[in-house]
Amino acid sequence: MKVKCPTCGKATEYDPKNPWRPFCSERCKLIDLGAWASDDYVIEGEPGSADRMTPEELESVARYTFERDNRQPGRRR
């Protein structure tokens, strides 16, 4: 299943083998998390602390972001 990377819009595979899903890369994921943390949402700890999150936290955030973006197509970019 292909999804558009929420950060750069590039088509990427939404697959358990892709650790950065729904993003195309770690870079795009961290960019999105950074924007997210400094925007309306604060994840436990200080904003911009995404690089210190556990894989489980990153996964739940990624899933939330993916679902959010699918509800509001075109909001990002």
CA angle 45, 70, 68 (to 5 degrees): 25
Ranges within 18-77 binding Zn ion (CB under 5 A) = 24, 28
CA distance 39 to 60: 18
Ranges within 9-28 binding Zn ion (CB under 5 A) = 10, 24, 28
Number of residues that bind Zn ion (CB under 5 A): 6
- Closest contact distance (angstroms) between CB of 65 and Zn ion is 12
CA distance 57 to 22: 14
Q: Which residues bind Zn ion (CB under 5 A)?
A: 5, 7-8, 10, 24, 28
